[in-house]
Amino acid sequence: MTIVQQGDRVRVHYTSKSLEGSVIETSRNREPLEFTAGGEGVIAGLSGGVIGMAVGESRELTVPAEQAFGRHNPDLIQATPLSLLPEDLQAGDQLTATVDGIGLDVWVQRMGEEEAVIDANHPLGGETLVVEVEIVGYEPSQH
């Protein structure tokens, strides 16, 4: 049986959940996710977690925040005057802010009378995730 090694291309079905068991996202109702094992493009805990698995094998990975969407950083939350934001903005909306010429996705945490609280942390920042993963396809790299 061939096992996944770093650099191999894999196709997986996954279901990510909170520690409490709430489903965050699943690929079960669409095409499998494809990525390079041990590479970038997906969270590190998933990318590295498939190494050593075989096609058809399933595993439950507990992925700490540092290997998922990072720690929650309170410095990335700030109040912004409503006059600087789009008029129809609501709590929960996502928008792209430009900081030093770089686009940054931010989320509106809450709206006030004169300002909105904007959060540049990923919505799952600081969260430990539980990821159920199944290898459904495999293409070895030229090690």
What CATH number does residue 55 fall under?
Answer: 3.10.50.40
Q: Residue 107's beta-bridge partner residues?
A: 94, 119
- What is the rounded CA–CA span in Å between residue 33 and residue 44? 14
22 within a domain of the structure (yes/no): yes
CB 107 within 8 A of CB 89: no
pLDDT above 70: percentage of residues in the chain: 99
Domain of 101: which CATH number? Answer: 2.40.10.330
Helix H or strand E encompassing 48 = helix 44-49
Give the Cα separation of 121 and 72 in Å (integer). 6
Q: DSSP letter for 108, please.
A: E
How many CB atoms neighbour CB 142 within 10 A?
Answer: 4
Say if residue 86 is in the same domain as residue 63: no
Nearest to 34 by CA among 143, 142, 139: 139
Q: Are strands 9-18 and 129-139 parallel, antiparallel or unpaired?
A: antiparallel
**1 occurs within a structural domain:** no
Residue 69: closest CA among 105, 111, 22: 105
Residue 2: inside a domain: no
- 97/50 same-domain check: no
Note down the domain range covering 111.
74-119
Residue 139: DSSP 8-state:
E
Residue 2 has pLDDT above 90, yes or no: no
What pLDDT score was predicted for residue 18?
95
- Same domain for 13 and 60, yes or no, is yes
pLDDT 10s digits, 12-66: 999 999 999 999 999 999 999 999 999 998 999 999 999 999 999 999 999 999 9
> Do 56 and 85 fall into the same domain?
no
Tally the residues of the chain.
143
Question: What's the DSSP call for residue 30?
Answer: S
What's the predicted TM-score (pTM) here?
Answer: 0.79
